[in-house]
Chains A and B, each alone.
Chain A
Amino acid sequence: MDVNIIYNVEHEMPLGMAIALYFYLTGLSAGSFIISTFAYGFGMTKYKPLGKIGVVMATLLLVIAPIILLVDLEQPLRFWHLIIYLRITSPITWGTFLLSLYPMNCIVYGYFMFMGDMKKTKIFGLIGIPLALLVHGYTGFILALGKARVLWNTAIMPPIFLVSAMVSGLAMMILVVIIKDYFVQRNKERNPDLIYDLAKLLAASIVLDLILIGIDLSVLLTSHTEAYKAAVMLLAGEFALPFLGIEVLLGAVIPLILILSPFTKRWIPALALASVLVMIGILAMRYIMVVGGLSIPLS
């Protein structure tokens, strides 16, 4: 039967690119922190060159990320209400404390690392791992507990966010190492094996990320009407180009081919290109999740 909407009110989309960018930056931070602890927390010595860069990147990104959140508030000067009037059921309250503890721990961990106190570095590195996982996992909960939005309200949202954090963090580390070895410290000894190892890890994380996206989509497609419509929006609707084109093809499939194919896996420019594409793909993923989820009509 022919149905036409004559009049309806839709309020403006509450969250947008700023929140997507915030999720992206915390993801990068958590990813680089975990890579930094490979050497200093778990003693994998081949990743030692990444320890110091990792912790510096993690701290810097986690200083920028909450500033974006503050700017996105309608009343930024009331931010202290978050600490005074907290409500424990809200994931934003969890975030208030995680976003305070995690950068502090990063700074202490980095301080002992630069001082050369390996024992204390290890302790704070190991404390930092659950914090890094939580600080990014809670952003997944922010979406998952927004139960009005069908694209967000799935149990797989926190794991997808954690895995995509690892993917983007690894890609950023590869780029950082390439820039360091080939541009900043050109005269020093290069270490391509480290890049190849990171690329292998990146490939594994991309595969895991694709599996999780596939699980999410298949459940959405077979679930209730609204969920099915959200899945169709990603596959054939308004967000098909960003999702299939940028997130899946450019951000996952092409980098995977570049990293695994025997012609390019030992060629640094190809790995650099793969990392750039992965970082763009994950940013697109954050955008699709936040803006795509909010664009599904409610009334």
Chain B
Amino acid sequence: MSLATNAGSGETRVMKPDGIAPVSGAQATLPVAGDRCELCPLTALGCGDGGRVVRLSGAPRIVRRLLALGVRPSTRCHVLGRTPSGGPLHVRAGSVHLMLRSDEASEVLIERDDGKENAHVVPAL
């Protein structure tokens, strides 16, 4: 279930990174881990990779929880660690360190930074 689905139409609406106006977007086909993608879910990122959050999809409860914890459009997110066998991700979102399970992390769509960042430097607010 997507947070912003128009009743009946099935069209997914998402939030632009820079504002509140939703855009139509079925353009993001979910890539698998390791893919080179325009809009990657956090789960597709390797350790140390990161970028800016473009939008959050998924069930309202997940979106609400992510927003409350500080994961929101335009936040810089980095994957700092993973636990083996599909366990949770250690993510730094802005200045906040979070544990996200893969079902939550896969709803965070990222515009990936070029190159691998140093994963252990605190970003600006």
Do A and B interact with each other, yes or no?
no
